[in-house]
Chain A
């Protein structure tokens, strides 16, 4: 088993090349599960490839960036909630969620003795969280920045520790601080949904840690504490968010993520998208060389990737002419036919349907007939 893992690790390291691996966070894991059938994404993420840098080098930079205003505001809000040993957070937990918290210890696990490897930091988080689960002290504990890890595609990935785990009377809760506003009890649905999935990633990682330590994973609550600014002010408000549904989806998707070994077995041995830089900081390998390598790994592009994956423009270009580039529902409505030209050929009756296309072809021909009939007079 050890040898398999190290073979896998070696192959992934080779794919990434002589550059440092990118860390995962709850957001990237959440995104990963939104398209679990994409081998390209699974391999790049498992190998810790810097996809943003890769996309830039390929001449199709990712369409995201973060405004410094948003970052400043997010940091300021988080700092406010956490100030003075999380005083504000404790007030919310007591007053809004009616948790009977007598007194609280605060452990910042951000660093272990100055600088520390992730392994060391994880070990310390593990030890402290484990001790809290065993001890039945009355006092609650807030664990800031615990470094958790999760197995993704058969490989451990560490999660950026932007969370607080809160322990009270043997029950753990994940606290997620977000800077989108809750106005009159309502928040933007997309933001809440994204926060729920990200929190679920932490809940899952925390539960697996408890399980591995021999504790009941159920000590980690499926209710996460979401802290957001209320209305148009900076005053925080806390709500409980039930992430049971997200947990189910997450667990299913993670188990469905084909084990990375199986995908790697189908790839050429020397495959690499190495972005190792020259003295001037530019990648030494040409864009076409890297693109050629990347194409060896199958992608499954859908327009939703535009919001979640740095490689989206590369894959979109590649998906030109396919029905899935127009959207999953479009593809379904076109009878699952893969190519736009095939769908149009079937609709026009100029292409003979294969056996499994007979039904789709009949529907497409009917649709084409209706469009012609209705547009004859108009336009």
Chain B
């Protein structure tokens, strides 16, 4: 939480309307996302109870497990979900595009589209990950054989769950988080975890103020929880009798059909409000103009999708129960670099995000008040064009002389801070420019910021950061348990209890 966001929350509370904390959209929103609203049985690790799923707001599919403690019914659910999800995912495996890699020496192909799964909240992401874990190690043969689609679903859900941890990825998004990146509400972060309350602030129903809408959203009768946890009162008063009725009707097809229909109606009533909210939230996000670097991050998602689809096609094994030490370290390193790049990209895209860095002196914006565009540095053996410009800023600058900075529209041009001098109206920063000005000793027209131009410089960089160096898997040091055994899913994994 920064002062800027805190101030936006205060403004939201005072005006009773959500306030923007980004001027652009920083997540990719697919033309055809798969909205997935799961419910699970309270008290169990991962017992699916119901789900509403689909890629069109007008056509949700309702899946129900009439007796969530029944293993066979769980696998029926998993099979039905698998059919839907795999059909959706396969729909993106048509057209590919060629991508030049390694400075044009190699060409690889990636799908031009990729799946995007939207769940209401972070526990929804956790549910996807756990459902992936409980299904990916199953087998379609042997004891407790399941439909072949079940382990495949597990592999895809695990892939999506892991991808969701990758900063900047939009393949599996928790809606409350996607919204919370763009709007500040007049309530606390705790209350923002309730999708209905959050949407009440961002997009209150006609005729209602945001505060009234958010308060109404806390009544589980009007706005059932967005899952996967259910409302305990619903559990005790509606769900438990309905499940009991289903159990009692065993052996009587007609009665069981009626009991199932009653359960479906009850569960649809719990899911439908969230389903509608999800699509309203999608519309809200679509209305924001997309940041210029969103497409490149989505391209990275498409790369990941393409390579995992290829891996599966070649009969790839399911993800192990736990990463080996080296794999875990490599993954952590990758996530850290992705986080730094993602933070920098959002700031370079969006002045309001950059303002966070200006608040703390890590970026400064101002006007060019002096320029020596044809300054040449002849101190070295070769004369070099090194123009100087002076930027007057009101921001508190905490960058040291010698720091390299860039300004968003001129990311190809490096500027080095030469000096900082406080003046009456702020700070004058003298910058020495290099790059992006052509090859001659006089700069190409327009390549040096002109007098009066407004610019924002920061030390943020989105340039490639080399990965850390890690030992080979077979050279895992003894401190980390030595070389791990190759993971091969076992028979035990496949028949693991799911009760």
B6 contacts A329, C-beta separation under 8 Å: yes
CA distance A284 to B351 in the complex (A): 59
Q: Are A329 and B497 in contact (CB under 8 A)?
A: no
Q: Are B133 and A368 within 8 A (Cβ)?
A: no
A227 to chain B, nearest CB (A): 15
Determine if B209 is an interface residue (Cβ-Cβ < 8 Å): no
Residues facing B in A319-334 (CB within 8 A) are 321, 323, 325-327, 329-331, 333-334
Write the nearest CB–CB distance from A342 to chain B, whole angstroms.
10
CB of A70 within 8 A of CB of B45, answer no
Q: Is the CB of A371 within 8 A of B235?
A: no
A326-B13 in contact given A65-B233, A183-B45, A334-B7 (Cβ < 8 Å): yes
The answer to whether A344 has its CB under 8 Å from any CB of chain B is yes
| Contact between A74 and B190, CB atoms less than 8 A apart | no
Q: Contact: B355 with A370, CB < 8 Å?
A: yes
Nearest-CB distance from B24 to chain A (Å)? Answer: 8
Contact indicator A232/B188 (Cβ below 8 Å):
no
The answer to whether B277 has its CB under 8 Å from any CB of chain A is: no
Cα–Cα, bound, A138→B386 (Å): 84
Known: A231-B45, A326-B187. 15 other contacts (CB 8 A): A63-B218, A67-B235, A69-B240, A179-B43, A185-B322, A232-B134, A233-B498, A235-B497, A303-B188, A327-B190, A333-B7, A334-B3, A363-B3, A364-B3, A375-B23
Inter-chain contact A366/B188, CB cutoff 8 Å:
no
Report if A180 contacts B (CB, 8 A): yes
Q: Which residues of A contact B14 (CB under 8 A)?
A: 340-341, 344
Chain A stretch 352-379: residues in CB contact (< 8 A) with chain B: 363-364, 366-371, 373-375, 377-379
Cα–Cα distance between A326 and B240 once the two chains are bound (Å): 37
Q: How far is the CA of A331 from the CA of B3 in the complex (A)?
A: 9
Closest-by-CB residue of B relative to A63 is B218
- A selection of 11 A-B contacts at a CB cut-off of 8 Å is A67-B42, A67-B232, A188-B126, A232-B134, A235-B497, A326-B186, A329-B6, A333-B5, A334-B7, A334-B10, A371-B4
Which one of A185, A232, A378 contacts B499 once the chains associate, using CB atoms below 8 Å? A232
* Residues in chain A near residue B451, CB distance under 8 A: none
Distance in angstroms between the alpha carbons of A333 and B356 in the assembled complex: 12
In the complex, whether B236 has a CB less than 8 A from a CB of chain A is yes
CA distance A67 to B233 in the complex (A): 7
B231 proximity list for chain A (CB < 8 A) = 65
A153 contacts the other chain (CB 8 A):
no
CB-CB nearest in chain B for A186:
B322
B9 at the interface (CB under 8 A from A): yes
Q: Does A304 reach chain B (CB closer than 8 Å)? A: yes
Q: Does B191 contact A (CB under 8 A)?
A: yes
Q: Does B274 lie at the interface of the complex (its beta carbon under 8 Å from any beta carbon of A)?
A: no
How far, in angstroms, from A303 to B1 measured CA to CA in the complex? Answer: 15
Report which B residues bind A (CB closer than 8 A).
Answer: 1-11, 13-14, 20, 23, 41-46, 126, 130, 133-134, 186-191, 218, 230-233, 235-236, 239-240, 321-322, 351-352, 354-355, 358-359, 394, 396, 496-499
The answer for the CA separation of A304 and B4 in the assembled complex, in Å, is: 22
| Chain A 193-221 interface 0/1 with B at a Cβ cutoff of 8 Å (1 = within) | 00000000000000000000000000000
Q: Is A288 an interface residue (CB 8 A)?
A: no
Chain A residues, CB < 8 A from B134: 232
Please indicate which of the listed interface residues B10, B46, B190 has the most CB atoms of chain A within 10 Å of its own CB. B10
Residue pair B45, A232 in contact (C-beta under 8 Å):
yes
B6 and A234 contact, CB distance less than 8 A: no
Q: Is A115 part of the binding interface, using a Cβ–Cβ cutoff of 8 Å?
A: no
Specify the chain B residue showing the minimal Cβ separation from A72. Answer: B43
Q: Contacts A180-B45, A183-B133, A307-B190: A329 and B1 contacting too (C-beta < 8 A)?
A: yes
Distance of A325 from chain B, by nearest CB (Å): 7
Residues of chain A contacted by B233 (CB below 8 angstroms)? 65
Please name all residues of chain A whose beta carbon is closer than 8 Å to the beta carbon of B5 when the two chains form the complex: 333
Contact status of A367 and B359, CB under 8 A, knowing A326-B6, A333-B2, A378-B23: yes
CB distance from A182 to the nearest CB of B (A): 9
Chain B residues closer than 8 Å to A334, beta-carbon distance: 3, 6-7, 10
**Do B189 and A327 have beta carbons less than 8 Å apart?**
yes
The CA of A210 and the CA of B84, in the complex, are separated in Å by 60
CB distance from B240 to the nearest CB of A (A): 6
User: In the bound complex, do residue B236 and residue A67 qualify as a contact, i.e. CB atoms below 8 Å apart?
Assistant: yes
Q: Is the CB of A69 within 8 A of B190?
A: no
From A73, A366, A379, give the contact of B44 (CB < 8 A): A73
Complex interface: chain B residues within 8 A of A236 (CB): none
Please, which residues of chain B bring their CB within 8 A of the CB of A66?
232
Q: How far is the CA of A379 from the CA of B42 in the complex (A)?
A: 42
- With CB as the reference atom, state the residue of chain A lying closest to B189: A327
Query: In the bound complex, how far is the Cα of B6 from the Cα of A177, in angstroms?
Result: 40
Q: How many residues of A contact B (CB 8 A)?
A: 58
| Cα distance, A306 to B189, chains bound together (Å) | 12
A185 to B133, CA, bound (A): 13
On whether A374 and B8 interact (CB within 8 A), knowing A183-B133, A330-B188, A340-B14, the answer reads no
Residue of A nearest to B231 (CB): A65
Counting chain A CB atoms within 10 Å of each CB, the highest count among B7, B11, B130 belongs to B7
Q: Is A146 engaged at the interface, CB distance under 8 Å to the other chain?
A: no
Q: How far is the CB of A251 from chain B (nearest CB, A)?
A: 27
A136 at the interface (CB under 8 A from B): no
On chain B, the residues within 8 Å of A371 by CB distance are 4, 7-8, 11, 352, 355
Contact yes or no, B352 A184, CB < 8 A: no
Asked whether, in the complex, the Cβ of A67 is within 8 Å of the Cβ of B191, the reply is no
A68 within 8 A of B: yes
| Bound CA span A374–B3, Å | 15
- Collect the chain A residues with CB atoms within 8 Å of residue B354's CB: 374
Q: Once the chains are docked, how many angstroms separate the CA of A95 from the CA of B6?
A: 52
With beta carbons under 8 angstroms apart, the residue of B10, B239, B352, B359 that contacts A343 is: B10
For the complex, give the distance between the alpha carbons of A269 and B29 in Å: 61
Assembly CA distance A375 to B183 (angstroms): 13
Q: How far in angstroms is the closest Cβ of chain B from A74?
A: 6
In the complex, the 4 A-B pairs of residues with the closest C-beta atoms, listed nearest first: A181-B45, A70-B43, A233-B497, A73-B43
Asked whether any CB of chain B lies closer than 8 Å to the CB of A105, the reply is: no
Is the C-beta of A168 less than 8 angstroms from some C-beta in chain B? Answer: no
Closest residue of chain A to B133 (Cβ to Cβ) is A183
Residues of chain B contacted by A307 (CB below 8 angstroms): 190
* Minimum Cβ distance to chain A for residue B29 (Å): 18
Neighbouring A residues of B11 by C-beta, 8 Å: 344, 371
In the complex, chain A residues whose CB is within 8 Å of the CB of B188? 303, 325-327, 330
| B23 near A74: Cβ-Cβ < 8 Å | no
Residues on A with beta carbons closer than 8 Å to the beta carbon of B133: 183-184
Chain B contacts for A234, CB-based, 8 A: 497, 499
Q: Are A304 and B7 in contact (CB under 8 A)?
A: no
Most chain B CB within a 10 A radius of its CB, from A184, A325, A366, A373: A366
Checking B13, B130, B358 against A340 with a beta-carbon cut-off of 8 angstroms, the contacting residue is B13
Does A44 belong to the interface (CB within 8 Å)? no
Select the residue from A179, A341, A343 with max chain B CB neighbours within 10 A. A343
CB pair A67 B230 closer than 8 Å: yes
Does A237 lie at the interface of the complex (its beta carbon under 8 Å from any beta carbon of B)? no
- Is A140's beta carbon under 8 Å from chain B? no
Binary contact readout A285-317 vs B (1 if CB under 8 angstroms, 0 otherwise): 000000000000000000110110000000000
